[in-house]
Amino acid sequence: MPYAHVVGWGKYAPPKILTNAELSRTVDTNDEWIVTRTGIHERRIAGPKDTAATMGFAAAREALDVAGILPTDVDLIICATATPEYIFPATACVIQDMLGAVKAGAFDLSAGCAGFMYALSLGSQVIQAGAHRVVLIIGSETLSRITNWSDRGTCILFGDGAGAVVLQASDQPGGVLSSLVRADGSGGEMLIVPAGGSHQPASVQTVREGLHYIQMNGREVFRFATRVVDRAAREVVEKAGLTLDDIQLFVPHQANLRIIQAAARSLDIPEERIFVNLEKYGNTSSASIPMALCEAVACGRLHPGDRVVLVGFGAGLTWAAAAVQWGAPPERKPSRMRRAIRAAIYPVAAARSRAVRVLRHVEARLFGSPSPKSVDEDGDTKKK
C-alpha cells in the first residue's frame, strides 16, 4: 500500500490588515475584550480582486513550487471552502484552470472549519488506495464577504486567507499516519449562513434580514470545540500506534486561544508543543491549519520527520483530525529546463484557457450548439 507524504506547502494572506482598534471604531467592542476572550489581535481582509479561487491558486502554486511538482502532474484537486467562488462551478475547478492542471479532477468540499482536515483525510486515502499519486489539498476562505460587520459576536473572529499542501504517493513509510472525520448534524443551526441555498433562496427579504451572513451561537460552539479537540487528538494518536509523548507539534484549528489552551490542559501538553498564529489572522476557517503549518515550517517549529497532530472543528457540526509524519521537499535541485517550464507554465495555462474559451465560442458560432432534441437517449448527437 502506498503512503501519502506531504511534500509541499504554501499559503496566501491578503495584505490588508484589520486591527482590533480599527474594528472598535465601527462596532461596540475593544481591543482588551477581543484579546482576552479570543487571543486575536488582527486579521487579514481580502482585497477587491481577491477571491477564494485567486487566493487558493496563490497558495497552491507555492505548495507545488516547494514540492517541485508541475501542475500537469496533479491527479486530483480538493478545495475545502465555506466561501466558494460560486454555488457552482466548484472553486477547485476554477483553480484547476488557473493552474493548467490539465489531467486533474477537481471538486469542492464543504465541512466548515474542519474542511481542510476532511480533505486531507480523503486525499490521503485516495493515494493509499492506489487511485492517484499526486493530490493537491487547498483550504481557501473569504469570510469577510459573509461576515455581518455590525455583529460584534462574530465580526471580531473571522479573517481571510488560503493554504495548501501537496500529497504524493511513496513506498517509504510516513506521511499521513492516521485520520478521522466526524459530524453531528443536530448542531447545524449553531453556526450557519441561513439563506442563499435551496432551503431559503436569496431574495430581497433574506438580504434585508441579513440571512446571508454568518450566524453563530458562540458559547455552544465553544463548548462543543473544547470537548471534541481532546477526544479527536487522542483517537488519531492511538490509531497511528503512538502516544501523545511521540508528538512533536500540535496544530489545532485557529479559532480561539482559550479553546486551544483548554485542549492543551486536558491533553496535558505544554504550550510550546502547540502552534498558535491566530493573533495575526483570526479564524480563517478551512485555511487556518494549512496556513499555520506553513508558518510552523518557516519559523523552525516543524521539521521533516516530526510527527504532528492536526485537529479541525466547525460548522456542521464537524470535526476531523490526523496524525502526520511531516515530509520534506525533494532534495535534488530542479534542472534548468524544469525551472524554465515552471516559470512559463502559469502564463501558458492562462493563454491556453483563453484559447479554449475562444475556440468553444467560435465552434458554437460556426456549427451551432446541439439542441436537446438533436441528442438521442444515449447522449449522442443525431445526424441531421
Q: Which residues bind ligand UT7 (CB under 6 A)?
A: 29, 33, 37-38, 113, 152-153, 156, 191, 218-219, 221-222, 225, 255-256, 283, 314
Question: Cβ closer to ligand UT7: 318 or 325?
Answer: 318
Q: In this complex, which beta carbon is closest to ligand UT7, that of residue 38 or of residue 81?
A: 38
Q: Which of 93, 113, 155, 294 is catalytic?
A: 113
> Minimum CB separation from ligand UT7 for residue 262, in Å?
11
Other CB atoms within a 10 A radius of the CB of residue 361 amount to 10
Catalytic annotation present for 113: yes
C-alpha cell at 217: 451561537
Dihedral sign, CA of 323, 325, 326, 327?
Answer: negative
| Residue nearer to ligand UT7 on the CB measure, 64 or 214 | 214
> Which of 93, 132, 283, 294 is labelled catalytic?
283
DSSP 8-state assignment for residue 346: H
In whole angstroms, the minimum distance from the beta carbon of 218 to ligand UT7 comes to 3
- We find the least distance from the C-beta atom of residue 182 to ligand UT7, in angstroms, to be 15
Q: Compare residues 218 and 334 and give the one whose CB is closer to ligand UT7.
A: 218
C-alpha cell at 205: 427579504
Return d(Cα 194, Cα 216) in angstroms, integer.
11
Q: At what angle do helices 91-99 and 336-367 cross, to 10 degrees?
A: 120
Cell of residue 20, nine digits: 482590533
Query: CB of 226 within 8 A of CB of 311?
Result: no
Tell me, yes or no, if 93 is annotated catalytic: no
Residue (33 or 346) nearer to ligand UT7, CB:
33
Q: In the bound complex, what is the minimum distance in angstroms from residue 330's beta carbon to ligand UT7?
A: 34
Annotation marks residue 283 as catalytic: yes
Rounded to the nearest angstrom, the gap between the alpha carbon of residue 317 and the centroid of all alpha carbons in its chain is: 17
Q: What's the one-letter identity of residue 363?
A: E
Question: What is the rounded CA–CA span in Å between residue 115 and residue 121?
Answer: 10
CA distance 318 to 228: 9
From the candidates 20, 253, 256, 294, give the one annotated as an active-site residue.
253
Q: How far is CA 209 from CA 161, 191, 202, in A?
A: 27, 17, 11
Q: Which residues contact 361 (CB under 8 A, 6 or more apart)?
A: none
Given a contact cutoff of 8 angstroms between Cβ atoms, the answer to whether 3 and 173 are in contact is yes
As measured in angstroms, the least distance from the Cβ of 216 to ligand UT7 is 6
Q: How far is the CB of 273 from ligand UT7 (least distance, A)?
A: 21
For ligand UT7, the closer CB: 69 or 138: 138
Looking at the chain, list the stretches that DSSP marks H as alpha helix, in order from N- to C-terminal side: 20-23, 31-38, 52-67, 91-99, 115-128, 204-208, 218-239, 257-267, 278-281, 288-298, 336-367
Q: Which residues are the active-site residues?
A: 113, 253, 283
